């Protein structure tokens, strides 16, 4: 390969050459229109069946709260909430690695703390 010199030359044409085969296999993609719709978080109760849906009037109250939601509801810090959990003043439920706090347990803790303050 000594003495052989390889040169490349790029040429740009504004119009395609008529002798070139046209590409029919890969066509430009058309934009995809996506429609997202969300299902309601909770199915309507049986007594609401057949009635007109009014999403603005319907409220959803979860029965199990995450630790962060329970902290926000009680307006306390995470360490304080875990202190109540470890002292067994607040009952929790474990789903795998998730710890959830039942809403009645939060109400029971508030009642217990308010009774202690009343004494």
Domains in the chain, please, with CATH?
Answer: 62-118 (1.10.1660)
- Would you call 94 helix, strand, or coil by DSSP? strand
Would you say 92 and 99 are in contact if contact means Cβ atoms under 8 Å apart?
Answer: yes
- H helix runs in 32-102, sequence order: 67-74, 78-86
> Does the pLDDT value for residue 4 go beyond 80?
no
Would you say 101 and 67 are in contact if contact means Cβ atoms under 8 Å apart?
Answer: yes
> What is residue 109's predicted lDDT score, i.e. its pLDDT?
95
d(CA 119, CA 108): 17
24: confidence class by pLDDT, cuts 50, 70, 90? low
> What is residue 69's predicted lDDT score, i.e. its pLDDT?
94
> What is residue 47's predicted lDDT score, i.e. its pLDDT?
53
> What is residue 100's predicted lDDT score, i.e. its pLDDT?
95
Mean pLDDT of 63-72: 94
> What is residue 61's predicted lDDT score, i.e. its pLDDT?
75
**Mind listing the pLDDT tens digit for each residue in 71-118?**
999 999 999 999 999 999 999 999 899 999 999 999 999 999 999 887
Output the CA–CA distances (angstroms, integers) from residue 115 to 9, 81, 98, in the order listed.
Answer: 89, 18, 30
> What is residue 25's predicted lDDT score, i.e. its pLDDT?
67
In terms of pLDDT, which residue wins out, 20 or 113? Answer: 113
**Mind listing the pLDDT tens digit for each residue in 26-48?**
666 666 666 665 555 555 555 55
End-to-end CA distance of the chain: 101
């Amino acid at each position: 390969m000594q003495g052989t010199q390889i040169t490349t030359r790029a040429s740009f044409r504004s119009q395609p050459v008529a002798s070139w085969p046209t590409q029919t296999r890969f066509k430009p993609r058309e934009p995809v229109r996506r429609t997202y719709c969300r299902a309601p978080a909770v199915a309507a109760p049986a007594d609401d069946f057949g009635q007109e849906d009014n999403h603005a009037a319907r409220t959803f109250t979860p029965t199990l709260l995450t630790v962060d939601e329970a902290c926000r509801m009680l307006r306390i810090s995470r360490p304080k909430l875990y202190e109540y959990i470890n002292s067994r003043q607040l009952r929790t439920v474990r789903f795998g690695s998730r710890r959830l706090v039942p809403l009645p347990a939060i109400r029971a803790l508030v009642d217990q703390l308010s009774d202690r303050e009343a004494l």
